[in-house]
């Protein structure tokens, strides 16, 4: 299926717009499950796959006037692959950053706590009443 039914060669106007939507909607209804399955191969999460597919389909619809004589299905599959790979890279970068931040937090904690937890625990080893009176 080409994108040609979504775009006419003349300048688009309000009267032509409704004609393109049914063709695009039909394409989406026919291809959505397969597109999601394809995206799932990359991102391994159903919600993430659906988000990738929806983002790509939205971009295709928004850019329909700029696309001429493009085979729609291969273009969408290629776009989904690129978007899914980009999402995986972003997710990996976020996980790496979070792990690095957790490591930095662990390193900046009180040395006694990191060395075995002797700092706070040893001050609390007395009876509770002596702790509250300030007699440690």
Structure tokens at 104: 């930095």
pLDDT of 84 reads 96
Q: Is the pTM of this model over 0.75?
A: no
Radius of gyration of the chain (CA): 28
What's the confidence (pLDDT) of residue 106? 87
Q: Rounded to an integer, what distance in angstroms lies between the CA atom of residue 124 and that of residue 131?
A: 7
What pLDDT does 11 receive?
43
Pseudo-torsion of CA 13, 18, 24, 30, nearest 10°?
-170
Taking residue 16's Cβ as centre, other Cβ atoms within 10 Å add up to: 12
Q: What is the pLDDT along the chain (136 residues), one digit of tens a residue?
A: 445 455 444 444 545 565 788 999 999 999 999 999 999 999 999 999 999 999 999 999 999 888 878 899 999 999 999 999 999 999 999 999 999 999 888 888 866 555 555 555 555 555 555 555 555 4
């Amino acid at each position: 299926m080409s994108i040609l039914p979504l775009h006419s060669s003349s300048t688009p106007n309000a009267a032509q717009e409704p004609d393109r939507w049914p063709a695009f909607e039909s394409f989406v209804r026919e291809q959505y499950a397969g597109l999601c399955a394809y995206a799932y191969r990359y991102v391994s999460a159903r919600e993430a796959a659906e988000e990738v597919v929806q983002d790509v389909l939205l971009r295709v619809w928004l850019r329909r006037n700029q696309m001429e004589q493009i085979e729609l299905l291969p273009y969408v599959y290629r776009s989904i692959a690129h978007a899914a790979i980009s999402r995986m890279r972003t997710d990996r970068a976020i996980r790496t950053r979070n792990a690095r931040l957790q490591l930095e937090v662990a390193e900046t904690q009180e040395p006694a706590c990191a060395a075995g937890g002797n700092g706070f625990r040893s001050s609390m080893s007395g009876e509770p009443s002596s702790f509250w009176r300030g007699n440690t």
